[in-house]
Amino acid sequence: MPLTRKEKDQLIERYMDLLRNSHGVILADYRGLTVKEMQELRRRVKEAGGHVQVVKNTLLRIALERLEQPVPADMLVGPTVAGFGLQDVPPVAKAFVEYAKEAENLRLKGGLLDSRIISVEEVETLAKLPPMEELRAQLVAAIQAPLVNLLGVIQAPLREIVQVLQARSEQGEAEAA
């Protein structure tokens, strides 16, 4: 049964809301997935901080146009499922890439990242990135390491002076005894 104008408008608004709240979108062809397989994909993406939505291509295109986002027209063909990265995109991309290897009927199409269309290869590269928390920890460690080394260099002469004074004090005590 075809959608009414009101239902289409509601879907467009839903897509726009998801697009506004996501950092990126992964698109795939889900033709041939069973209900159980689709549920598993949804579970994995949800655990990764994302949301899975089977989309109507034309309505998603309209939502993208209204938000002045690029429209990956060649990706909006055939049955399309979208994975919205609501918290972070790499874990959602990883969930899609790993599940596409397990479920032969899920075929990646590409996606959108920061208002840029990305290819399947870029989605796979994105999936290999560590989570944002890990990247932040690596950045902090990279900034902190030179500071710790500098502090060690500054403290070394002071330690040597203290050691010389302590040795001299011990020597004086030994001579006095």
CATH number for the domain harbouring residue 11: 3.30.70.1730
> 3-state DSSP call for residue 118?
strand
d(CA 79, CA 27): 10
Domain total of the chain: 2
User: Is the same domain home to 110 and 167?
Assistant: no
User: Is the same domain home to 145 and 171?
Assistant: yes
User: Is the same domain home to 74 and 64?
Assistant: yes
Higher pLDDT, 30 or 104: 30
User: Is the same domain home to 22 and 62?
Assistant: yes
User: Is the same domain home to 43 and 118?
Assistant: yes
Average of per-residue pLDDT values in the chain: 89
User: Is the same domain home to 146 and 119?
Assistant: no
d(CA 36, CA 4): 29
User: Is the same domain home to 112 and 51?
Assistant: yes
127 has pLDDT over 70: yes
165 has pLDDT over 70: yes
Check the CA dihedral 104-106-112-117 and report its sign.
positive
User: Is the same domain home to 120 and 153?
Assistant: no
DSSP H or E run through 151: helix 132-176
Task: Report how many helices (DSSP H) and strands (DSSP E) the chain contains, helices first.
Answer: 6, 5
User: Is the same domain home to 147 and 74?
Assistant: no
72 sits in the region (left: phi over 0; alpha: psi -120 to 50; else beta) called: beta
Range of the domain at 149: 130-177
d(CA 99, CA 113): 20
pTM score over 0.85: no
d(CA 90, CA 133): 12
User: Is the same domain home to 78 and 100?
Assistant: yes
Please name which of 74, 42, 55, 52 lies closest in space to residue 3, comparing C-alpha atoms.
55
